[in-house]
Amino acid sequence: MAAQTEKKLNLTWIFIPLSLILFMSTLDQTITTTALDGIVKDLGHLNQSAWIITGFMLTSAVMTLIFGKLGDIFGRKIILQIALAIFILGSLFSGLAHSMLFLIIARTFQGIGAGGLNSLVQAVTADVVPARTRGKYQALFGLISMVSLIAGPILGGYFVQYASWQWIFFINIPIGVIASVILAIKLHLPSRANVVTKIDYLGSVFVTTFTALTLLIVTLGGEQVAWHSAKMFYMIIGAVVSLIAYLIVEHRMQKDALTPLPLFKNLTFNNASLQFALATAALFVAMVFIPMYAQMIHHVSASHSGYYIIPTMIAMIIATMVGGAIIERTGKYKLLPIIGAVLLGVGFYGLAQISLNSANWFIILWQIPVGLGVGLFVQVAMLAGQNTVPVRDLGTATGVLNFFKTLGGAFGAAAFGVILTNDMGTHLANPIHAFQTVFIWTIPIAVVLLILAVFLKEEPLSEEVLAYED
């Protein structure tokens, strides 16, 4: 009895820092959305501000796949501590930034650490918690993630209004240090057999280069860099070469590849990956530009602008839960993303009708279908993608799907940031037109998602996938 009590106490001491880490890393995905306006007022360069989010998510996406394998080779405790140290340093540098360029670089560095935190928290939990009781811990982690996603925009706004935007980064330092100290003292993982595997360093370099250059082409082309200029030509050539080199490396690495190419031989997996990426892009359009609209057009305080995005987040959580329950009961999922695409298109069409005199209830009303639509896609895309692979490859497939999800958010923030700044430059006397344009241009994403959903092949869900999700 005493031994059992001591074991529970040890698990509690491990769960506390893991929860802090998960809360902190998830919070940083959304906390900057309501702080962008304050950061731009201080540092300038509205046209570059989306890269505060994009740079973070880009490196986070790639390093999520890398850190998982590093943990297998060198041990998860030391790799988790390294990832946490990088995240804390990135937070410190971000808070000390005195220029937009330095802040973007610091956030990109911070994303390297963040990429390892979420995946390693789940892996460490699997190491220390028996499979029979693991479900309740995963449920608690899911609740923590949901709370932090909703709290991010609110806290970001409060820090900007009542302290300074720097504190959205400085707050990570004491939390991270406390978590690191507790882990160092209390976390004792079982010894692991030596794992012989290769780390796809080259693949990570090439995919990061390709993605970064593609984002630069999209965000700079035609405005800051002319399409016919030598600089644009070199960026396009660099992106093409990086993509080709990446595909060659992935082919040679085979099962040790960052994104194993055999996964993409399955059309359903490709469909699910695209759905995940595009749905997340649409989500980030709402998360970034609705609070910005509230601050710039309705002159709402930074602290209150965070509340404007809550309807989207709550609706998304509800749709995810309801969708999961329907799938578990019926085993069917094809109709859900079709409904999700329609809801997404309707929601953004409604948001595009906003005006200077739009009431708060109008903005809240049209966010509900957006959140419901995204929630249905998030649930189905993951399950459908996982269902295409054998159970032994579920971990790899899940990592690749999350990789596309994060890249989708990065592209959404960057590409629609360009649409906003370009339209504002054209309609200086009518800034609301820029937000209407952003929301209108999100409707084609919903159309593409509808096409993908219609052509998604529904296959019976395997028991292994359902068990893995549980």
| Top-confidence residue, 221 or 433 | 433
Q: How far apart are CA 302 and CA 160, in angstroms?
A: 6
Query: From residue 231, how far is each of 135, 207, 227, 243, 417 by CA, in Å?
Result: 52, 20, 9, 18, 21
pLDDT band at 131 (very low <50, low <70, confident <90, very high): low
311 pLDDT higher than 80? yes
Q: Tell me how crowded residue 392 is: count the other CB atoms within 10 A of its CB.
A: 8
Is residue 406 within 8 Å of 54, Cβ to Cβ? no
Mean pLDDT along residues 96-105 = 90
pTM of the full structure: 0.79
93 pLDDT higher than 80? yes
Q: Per mean pLDDT, which range of 112-121, 167-176, 433-442 is the poorest?
A: 112-121
Mean pLDDT along residues 79-107 = 92
pLDDT of residue 186: 83
pLDDT of residue 466: 52
| Top-confidence residue, 68 or 23 | 23
Mean pLDDT along residues 25-34 = 82
pLDDT band at 222 (very low <50, low <70, confident <90, very high): low
Across the chain, mean pLDDT equals 83
Is residue 53 within 8 Å of 413, Cβ to Cβ? yes
3-state secondary structure of 221: strand
pLDDT of residue 464: 54
pLDDT of residue 88: 95
212 pLDDT higher than 90? no
Q: What's the token pair of residue 261? A: 């190419």
pLDDT of residue 132: 55
pLDDT of residue 455: 92
Mean pLDDT along residues 442-460 = 91
Q: How far apart are CA 49 and CA 204, in angstroms?
A: 25
pLDDT band at 195 (very low <50, low <70, confident <90, very high): low
2 pLDDT higher than 70? no
Nearest-Å Rg of the Cα atoms of the chain is: 22
pLDDT of residue 329: 82
Kindly provide the b/e burial profile for residues 409-437, where b requires at least 16 CB atoms within 10 angstroms of the residue's own CB. bbbbbbbbbbbbbebbeeeeeeebebbbb
Q: Per mean pLDDT, which range of 12-26, 116-130, 284-298 is the poorest?
A: 116-130
DSSP-derived secondary structure for 147-175: HHHHHHHHHHHHHHHHS-TTHHHHTHHHH
Tens digits of residue pLDDT in 345-390: 999 999 999 887 878 888 888 999 999 999 888 878 878 887 887 7
Only one residue has tokens 């706004």, namely 157
Looking at the chain, the whole-number percentage of residues with pLDDT higher than 90 is: 23
pLDDT of residue 378: 81
